[in-house]
Structure formats: structure tokens, C-alpha cells
Amino acid sequence: MEPTTTRGARRDDPEFVDAQVIDDVPEQDMSEKDFFDAEEYLESFSALGTSIAQGRDLKKKRKALDEYRKTLNTLREAYEDRVNIAQNYDAMITDQEHIIAATNTDIQRATQAREDIERKIADANDELAELKRRQAKERKPLEEELDLRNAELASAKDELKQVKAQRDSLDLFEDDSPAAAHTEAAHDAVVDKVNDKLEAAKAAQRSAQKALDAREKEERSKQKRALDGIKHLNGEKDKAGKRIEELEKRLGAARERVAFCAHVIEHPEETQAMAARIAENEQTAAAMEAQVSSLESKHAVSKAASGKARAVVIVAGIAFLIFIIFLVVISNR
């Protein structure tokens, strides 16, 4: 190894000559050099492009790693479940058998409850139909009464129309004799009588209509109460149906669990293969994590090296925004 001490240089030494030449070059203003160095900006923009590409790649790799970790965690949970089954098989089967027995009892009760509700709904529908028949029977006399009063009213209107026509025809003859005056008075009396008859018919018709309207309103109220009761029962039936569905799902899940536990005991080689696969996947996950970590470091370096380029982009963006604002201001003048 050569010593690290510095020896004196002769003036005819090439190194000394080069140094002398360099020393003779006029000093450059460092402020001018720092203000704009094209090569530095080119390198910064190159680093910016690299940083953007690395950022995209890093985002994809992180997402892939997260998904891989989730899959690996799921595999670990499945493996741990199999190990638990192998270690506690008898206790787990006993628990599932208790669940199956209790669920079967609950299903029987829920089914019976739904059948009871269905019978109540059928009875309520029969009662509603009977109510409508009874109401129609009780309403019929009122409808007949209204029909009669409507007919009387129509008859009174026709009669008044006729007597008025007869009375008006007398006005066509100019006769001031006592006999003519007596005839007109007689016709006026008939018109007044028919008018009274018409008013009485109107009153009777209104009374019949009012009585029928009151009866129909009462009928609708009773029918609504009956329909509300049926609607409530249908809601209870739906709840009972959903309860049965939930219980059947629970029962199915318990039976599947029993079958799966038996399968795990019968095939221990599957659990062993799963353990080997987990170990292999963990190595893959570690390699992926190392790639992400390496890319993060590279991305940090390129991002730091692209500072000048980012500053130029920001300044250019601000300048463009100012230019747009300037154009808007000018156009609004």
C-alpha cells in the first residue's frame, strides 16, 4: 500500500502543470453557475419522470402485497381452525349436536306459530267476507229508499215543468175577463203546490242520501279495522317465516360444521399440506415486502433528486393560472 503522506511536486511534473493551468483559468461567478445549470435541471426532470414511474409501480406492488397478506391470513385462520378441530374434536362435536337439537326445537315452535297465524288470517278473511255480506244486506233498504226518493224527485221536477208550461201558455192570450183571471189563479195555485211537492221530494232525497252515506261510512270504518287486523297478522306471519329461515340456516351451518370436523380428522394430510403452503407463502410475502422496501428507498432518492423539476412545474402552473386570470380580466372589460 502506498503511503498516504503528500510529497512536494516539481514544477516540471505534469500534475503540477495541470494544476497550474487550472489555477490560471479565470474564476467563474458561482452565483451565475448556481442560477441555472442546464445539466442539473435535465437530471432533475429525469429524476422526476423516474419518481413518477416508481410511484405508480410502488402503488401497484403495495396493493398486491396487501391482497397477498389477506389471502395468507385467511389461509392461516383455516389452518388454525383445523388444528383446533384436531385437538378438541369431541368437545366441538358435542357443542354442535347441542346446537342442532336446540335449533330443531326452535324450528318446530316457529313453524307451529306460523301455522297458528295462518289460521287466524283465514278466520279474519272469512269474518271480513261475512261482514261485507251483512253490511250489504243492511244497506239494501237504505239504497231502495234512496232510489224511491230519487224517483219521486225526478217525477216532481217533470210535473213542475209541465204545469209551468201550461201556465205560460195562458200568457199568450190577452184576456182580462173574470173567467180568464180565475183560470190563471187556479194554474198559479197548481204551480205553487207542485213547487211545494218538489221541495218536499228534495228534502226526502237529501235525508235518504245522508242516511246511506252515514251507513257506508260506518261500514268502511269497520272494514278498515278488519283489514288492519289482517295486515298485522300478515306482518307477524312474515316475521315467523324469516325466523324459520334464520333457524334453518343455523341448523344447516351446524350440520356442515359436524361434517367438516369429521373430514378434518379423516384427512390429516390436508392440514399438513396447508402448513407447508403457509410456510411457502410466507417466504413469498417476505420477498414481496423486500421488493416494496427497496422500491420505497429508490423512490425516496429519485423524489429528492427531482426537487428543482417539481419547483419548475409548480412555478409554471402558477404562471399559467395567472395568465388565465389575466385573460378573464381582460375579456370582462
Would you say residue 102 lies in a domain? Answer: no
User: Do 151 and 44 fall into the same domain?
Assistant: no
Would you say residue 107 lies in a domain? Answer: no
Which of the listed residues 251, 282, 309 is the one where a domain comes to its end?
251
Would you say residue 4 lies in a domain? Answer: no
User: Do 174 and 201 fall into the same domain?
Assistant: yes
User: Do 304 and 245 fall into the same domain?
Assistant: no
Would you say residue 191 lies in a domain? Answer: yes
User: Do 204 and 134 fall into the same domain?
Assistant: yes
| Cβ atoms 167, 118 nearer than 8 A | no
Number of H helices, E strands in the chain: 7, 0
User: Do 131 and 72 fall into the same domain?
Assistant: no
Q: Is the pLDDT of residue 85 over 60?
A: yes
Mean pLDDT of the chain: 81
| Cβ atoms 116, 236 nearer than 8 A | no
Would you say residue 127 lies in a domain? Answer: yes
Q: Is the pLDDT of residue 46 over 70?
A: no
CA angle, 243 then 249 then 252, to 5°:
140
| Cβ atoms 286, 72 nearer than 8 A | no
User: Do 132 and 239 fall into the same domain?
Assistant: yes
Tell me which DSSP letter residue 25 carries: S
User: Do 238 and 284 fall into the same domain?
Assistant: no
| Span 137-192, pLDDT tens digits | 999 999 999 999 999 999 989 888 888 777 666 555 455 555 555 566 676 777 78
Residue 22 phi/psi, 5-degree rounding, is -65, -40
| Span 234-246, pLDDT tens digits | 999 999 999 999 9
| Cβ atoms 142, 215 nearer than 8 A | yes
User: Do 143 and 241 fall into the same domain?
Assistant: yes
Q: End-to-end distance of the chain based on CA atoms, in angstroms?
A: 80
Banded model confidence at residue 205, pLDDT cuts 50, 70, 90: very high
Statement: the pTM of the whole predicted model exceeds 0.75? no
CA angle, 110 then 125 then 211, to 5°:
145
User: Do 210 and 153 fall into the same domain?
Assistant: yes
Q: Is the pLDDT of residue 269 over 60?
A: yes
Q: Which of 43-57, 79-93, 99-113, 202-216 has the lowest mean pLDDT?
A: 43-57
Q: Which of 145-154, 206-215, 231-240, 322-331 has the lowest mean pLDDT?
A: 322-331
Which of the listed residues 219, 251, 283 is the one where a domain comes to its end?
251
Residue 300 has a pLDDT of 72
Would you say residue 204 lies in a domain? Answer: yes
Which of the listed residues 197, 220, 251 is the one where a domain comes to its end?
251
Banded model confidence at residue 17, pLDDT cuts 50, 70, 90: very low
Distance CA 313, CA 310 (A): 5
Tell me how long the chain is: 333
Distance CA 130, CA 128 (A): 5
Structural domains counted in the chain: 2
Please give, one letter per residue, the 3-state secondary structure of 290-306.
HHHHHHHHHHHHHHHHC
Question: How far, in Å, are 51, 58, 67 from residue 296 at the CA level?
Answer: 10, 7, 18
User: Do 197 and 279 fall into the same domain?
Assistant: no
Q: What is the CATH number of the domain that holds 213?
A: 1.10.287
User: Do 133 and 242 fall into the same domain?
Assistant: yes
Would you say residue 59 lies in a domain? Answer: yes
User: Do 194 and 138 fall into the same domain?
Assistant: yes
Would you say residue 2 lies in a domain? Answer: no
| Cβ atoms 316, 72 nearer than 8 A | no
Domain range for residue 276? 38-84+270-333
Distance CA 271, CA 256 (A): 18
Distance CA 99, CA 105 (A): 10
